[in-house]
Amino acid sequence: MADELSVIGKPGNIDQQAVECVTGTIEFPNDVYLGQKLHAKILGSPHAHARVVSIDASQALALDGVEAVVTHEDVPGWADVKYHVGDAVAAVAARDENLAYHALTLIEVEYEVRAHVVDPDEAMQPGAPLVGLFPDGNTTLRTDIVRGDIEAGFAEADVTIEDESGWTNRWMNSPMGGGNTTAWWQDDILHAWVDTQNPHGEHRGFTGSFSLPHNKVRVFAHGAGGGFGGGRAAVQSVAAALAKKTGKVVSLHTDKRDNQMRGVTHFACKSNIKMGAKSDGTLTAIDAQFWGDGGVNTRPPYSGLPDCLQIGFRCPNANFKVTGIITNAPPSGYYRCVQHPPGAFLMNTALEAMAEELGMDPLEFRLKNVLTLGEPDQDNGRAFSFNTLTECLQDAADGIGYAAGKHAPGAKTLPDGRKHGLAVTGHLDGHGGYGSGRGAIITLRPDGTCFLNSGISRSSCGTNTAHCHFVAETLGLKYEDVRTGDYGNTAVTADGGMQAGSTNTNQTGAAFTVAARDARAQLFEAAAGMFDPPVNAADLDARDSKIFLKSDPAKSLTHAEVCARNQRIIGRASAGWPAVLNFDVGPWPAGTPANQRVPVAAGAEVAVDTESGEVEVLKWVAVTDIGRVVYYDGAHAQAWAGLYHMFWQAFYGEHIYDRETGMSLNPNFLNHRWPASLDIPYDALQEVLREGNSGLGPYGATGMGEPVASQYCVIACAIYNALGVWCKEPPFTPWKILKALGKA
């Protein structure tokens, strides 16, 4: 390998999906044309908890053009009991979309309505209505982390605080796509086009749902339309069941209302954190209790809350407990991580409160307690691959002029009468290093170019372009000679794993790096015999689509020359690091215990109007150390997108349920909306990428999808610094601010 990188991190390389995206030809599930097709729509339960007694679809089926109706009796995985409003009851296939919608209104369902509970506080109370998923209550209690001696820790403390948060917001992932499927049975072989983050997972789902051998399912996951963690085709079996029943192609399109009634929500959580510190600011004890509202998800994704709360800051004595709550609301799931955004929120607001109690500058207090490079994980003792949280915090502070501008909470009023606030927060994000194994296949072509094939999805955030960077670098090819072949086509790819946990770039990338080495070994072996006189493969290197003698680079062959005579070169690999790094793809040797962290920090400057409750973001600098920038434009776009998502979490994202009915009150893009072009403070938002160059991934890379979106807590802290009053119930809408000020 050449010492200096020739492809990785270079600006200007074009995204692999660019042309598809700008011509509208990227293949989303509903865009597939297979001749005549039926359109499917889903009928959701109007009740938050009910059992279906009977379904009469005769009127719907009598409509000309309505071809099939399926219910829990046909669709694998559906039950007769419905646990939230919108829970799927029936689905119809008709010759056009409107007809399908119309047919839904003609399906008569008799329900046995049961008591329900939507409010998590109420769900916890003795005697509360049962959600129906646990036999004897709505909660599960577990102690997650016990470290040191909590009593001794508090005895050692000079100052203790008890910090109680409100419920963080529950929000929908709200990707543009999501929940769409086109399905078709070619005799007994199911073909399914889905938008998903996990193509081979969907493949396995179909084999299970329809009792099919693995080679009788073909999943095509070519266009995802976003996902942010929610990108799983939760309703995929519906289209397949309808396709089976009708013998035709069935396309299920879930519009935004459908999607938000049934899709994945980020869970809401709250905490009670007791914290002890010595007067010099040294943390001695944290006793934290969390409550998480999982909706109807009984396998709560908030189980990792304590993990994300504790990993960044040093504290020898700690207890972390989580109470999981279920409610009759749509299932909670993943949004740009499971628990890090709220975990970072709860921890950083508590740290801010403790700093004030101590009379210390909050940044100084954080820096005093932040885990630094060389300090191991406090619970498993493993070393981190790298840790630049201290530097990230300082960069964030510098980015907003913290040192010069800092002031006591509530102490600064701007000339226009608004209150001014500054804050810096930080977090050691736990992503980017673990997950299932990943497979990758590289086929070299006769002209020396190559295709990359993997079973992972194309959520289009630039990860498959990053894979091309790894392969080009490793094979010594020019970037333009490397292209993605087929991604997400399960019949022709190895299991590429799930696009989750910020692992696509580094972990699927590791598989591609190893596959590229496999191909390179074959290529060099073939090339060695073509030199005159023949040379040893070990004496060769490659760069810029040329294979040359290390000792005499002028003696070279092109990849094209070698591949023209060796047309069967395929590089293959599977790689992963569930517990340890299996391949020495980066600066770390195989066998390194996998403890990947991504340090993130944010600095924010806000102005708060205490009359209107409006918060203006004057500056928001988000710093992430992603180890190595691989695909330059993609990495920066993703970092800015992370800032945008944090802005959304802080000020917009909130999915509201009516307590009485369990009905979502804003299942759409208007009332549960993304900031649009006139809502974004472009000049205030600044993304900063650091390169620690020592991540566990290939060439020192880590993942970044989740870390870059985990710091909305900085806005809560900045608002506190402005007002001297806490508002701990995001999103920080004018009403919430006025409520915190006692004005609403």
Partner 1 sequence: MPEKEKETQDGQISRRQFIRNAGIVVGGTAVGSSILLSACGDGETVTKTVTKTTTVAGQTVTKYVCPYDNQEFDTLAALKAHLEAQHGDGGAGAVEGIITLKVNGQDYIIKVEPQWTLSYTLREVCLLPGTKQPCWRGECGACTVIMNGRTVYACLALAIECDGAEIRTVEGLKVDGELSPLQRSFIQNRGFQCGMCTPGFLMTGVALLEKNANPTIDEVRQAVSGHICACGNMNRNIQSILEGGS
Considering only residues 308-347, where is the footprint of partner 1 by CB under 8 A? Answer: none
Query: Which member of 176, 549, 560, 570 binds partner 1 (CB under 8 A)?
Result: 176
Considering only residues 652-671, where is the footprint of partner 1 by CB under 8 A? Answer: 668-670
Instruction: Give how far the C-alpha of residue 147 lies from the chain's centroid of Cα atoms, to the nearest Å.
Output: 29
> Contact between 633 and partner 1 (CB under 8 A)?
yes
Element spanning 291, H or E? strand 283-293
What character string, x for contact with partner 1 (CB under 8 A) and - otherwise, covers 237-276? -----------x----x-xxx-------------------
Distances (CA, A) of 300 to 150, 272, 643, 717: 26, 19, 26, 28
Query: Which member of 30, 369, 503, 582 binds partner 1 (CB under 8 A)?
Result: 30
For the bound state, the minimum distance from the C-beta of residue 297 to partner 1, rounded and expressed in Å, comes to: 22
Tokens coding 95:
């010759």
In angstroms, rounded to a whole number, what is the distance separating the alpha carbons of residues 477 and 191? 35
Nearer to partner 1, 680 or 725 (CB): 680
Nearer to partner 1, 41 or 47 (CB): 41
Nearer to partner 1, 335 or 402 (CB): 335
> Contact between 36 and partner 1 (CB under 8 A)?
yes
Q: Using CB under 8 A, which of the segments 49-57, 213-221, 585-593, 640-648 binds partner 1?
A: 640-648
Closest CA to 260 of 168, 178, 157, 370: 178
In angstroms, rounded to a whole number, what is the distance separating the alpha carbons of residues 31 and 406? 53
DSSP state of 698: G
For the bound state, the minimum distance from the C-beta of residue 13 to partner 1, rounded and expressed in Å, comes to: 10
In angstroms, rounded to a whole number, what is the distance separating the alpha carbons of residues 179 and 672? 18
Q: Using CB under 8 A, which of the segments 114-122, 419-427, 482-490, 672-680 binds partner 1?
A: 672-680
521-525-527-531 Cα dihedral, nearest 10 degrees: 140
In angstroms, rounded to a whole number, what is the distance separating the alpha carbons of residues 2 and 478? 13
Nearer to partner 1, 16 or 556 (CB): 16
Q: Helix or strand or coil: residue 512?
A: helix
Nearer to partner 1, 441 or 641 (CB): 641
Nearer to partner 1, 194 or 514 (CB): 194
Q: Helix or strand or coil: residue 480?
A: helix
Query: Which member of 71, 165, 174, 332 binds partner 1 (CB under 8 A)?
Result: 174
Query: Which member of 3, 35, 135, 280 binds partner 1 (CB under 8 A)?
Result: 35
Closest CA to 283 of 350, 381, 339: 350
Query: Which member of 530, 680, 725, 741 binds partner 1 (CB under 8 A)?
Result: 680
> Contact between 391 and partner 1 (CB under 8 A)?
no
**Please, are residues 600 and 392 in contact by the beta-carbon 8 Å criterion?**
yes
> Contact between 11 and partner 1 (CB under 8 A)?
no
> Contact between 28 and partner 1 (CB under 8 A)?
yes
Applying CB under 8 A, the site for partner 1 has a residue count of 72
Query: Which member of 37, 170, 203, 368 binds partner 1 (CB under 8 A)?
Result: 37
> Contact between 156 and partner 1 (CB under 8 A)?
no
Backbone φ and ψ of 353, nearest 5°? -65, -40
Backbone φ and ψ of 41, nearest 5°? -135, 155
Q: Using CB under 8 A, which of the segments 60-68, 153-161, 295-303, 713-721 binds partner 1?
A: 60-68
For the bound state, the minimum distance from the C-beta of residue 38 to partner 1, rounded and expressed in Å, comes to: 5
For the bound state, the minimum distance from the C-beta of residue 457 to partner 1, rounded and expressed in Å, comes to: 11
Considering only residues 63-122, where is the footprint of partner 1 by CB under 8 A? Answer: 64-65, 67, 93-99, 102
- Identity of the amino acid at 667: P
| 46 prior amide bond cis, ω within 30 | no
> Contact between 224 and partner 1 (CB under 8 A)?
yes
Instruction: Give how far the C-alpha of residue 97 lies from the chain's centroid of Cα atoms, to the nearest Å.
Output: 31
Query: Which member of 9, 129, 225, 576 binds partner 1 (CB under 8 A)?
Result: 225
Distances (CA, A) of 583 to 104, 206, 370, 506, 586: 53, 32, 30, 12, 8
For the bound state, the minimum distance from the C-beta of residue 556 to partner 1, rounded and expressed in Å, comes to: 32
Q: Helix or strand or coil: residue 598?
A: strand
Residues 6+ apart with CB under 8 A from 151: none
Considering only residues 460-479, where is the footprint of partner 1 by CB under 8 A? Answer: 460-462
